[in-house]
Amino acid sequence: MKRDIQERIQERIRFFRSFLAHPRQVGAVLPTSRWAVRNMLDMANFAEAQCVAELGAGTGVYSGEILDRLPPDGNFLAFEIDPNLVATLRERFDDPRIRIINDSAENVQDYLNGAKVDIIVSGLPFTSLPENVKQNIFKQAIRVLAPEGVMLVLQYSPLVQGDLTRMFASVRRRIAFLNVPPAFLFACRTALGEIPRR
């Protein structure tokens, strides 16, 4: 119990340091609460997923919960652009299903060898990312999603909902009121599996 508390404190310190170094990339002062993470992940069926990609894995708040839900033969690609957080993830997770990738979420397709992703999980701060980066990530997500795939998005502002409804055929929203601050959770699907025309 004491070790668990110490690990959580260290995780928050690492996350806060990353926020100070790159506030636009991180987008929050503290990691998302476990309650909000579970609430968002409940919006997809991980038990049947063969391939999951996480965009902006941070300190692994989502990653640990994803691994708990992923089947034994599942594949999990965790993308993180901050090398310090990548080191944290590699220390934390020793599981053959996870591949931790130190690269931008804009390059997901480069690591799939033509495979499709059943679930994409993103806590990236889309409202603070440059517009071209945000749009590139959405386009990549739609390209790599399986036809019945889903992209789960957590944001601290509802502003991104307009972008999501333009890019995806279906967008479902929840609000995690117990998170500080409250978080907006989105489950996005596209029946076509391709980029909608604007």
Are the CB atoms for 90 and 100 separated by under 8 Å? yes
Q: Which neighbouring-strand residues pair with 155?
A: 184
Q: What are phi and psi of 43, to 5 degrees?
A: -80, 0
pLDDT at 197: 44
Q: Please give the pLDDT value at position 198.
A: 42
Nearest alpha-carbon partner for 14 in 100, 86, 108: 86
Show the DSSP H helices in 70-107 as ranges.
Answer: 83-92
pLDDT digit string (tens) for 47-78?
999 999 999 999 999 999 999 999 999 999 99
Average pLDDT of the residues in 116-133: 96
Query: Which phi and psi angles does 163 have, rounded to 5°?
Result: -65, -45
Query: At 45, is the secondary structure helix, strand, or coil?
Result: coil
Domains recognised in the chain with CATH numbers: 32-189 (3.40.50.150)
Q: Is the pTM for the entire model greater than 0.85? A: no
Q: What is the distance between the alpha carbons of residues 183 and 94, in angstroms, rounded to a whole number?
A: 29
Quick one: pLDDT band at residue 178, thresholds 50, 70, 90? confident
Give the pLDDT of residue 4. 56
Of the listed ranges 21-30, 36-45, 119-128, 137-146, the least confidently predicted one is: 21-30
Share above pLDDT 70 across residues of the chain, in percent, rounded to a whole number: 81
Contact (Cβ atoms closer than 8 angstroms) between residue 44 and residue 66: no
Q: Is the pLDDT of residue 120 over 90?
A: yes
Distance CA 26, CA 71 (A): 29
Write phi, then psi, for 78 (nearest 5 degrees). Answer: -110, 115
pLDDT of residue 25: 41
Q: What are the structure tokens assigned to 84, written together?
A: 């310090």
Predicted confidence (pLDDT) per residue in 133-169, tens digit: 999 999 999 999 999 999 999 999 999 999 999 999 9
**Can you tell me the distance from the alpha carbon of 155 to that of 126, in angstroms, rounded to the nearest whole number?**
8
Reply yes or no on whether the pLDDT at 1 is more than 50.
yes
Instruction: Return the higher-pLDDT residue of 6 and 193.
Output: 6
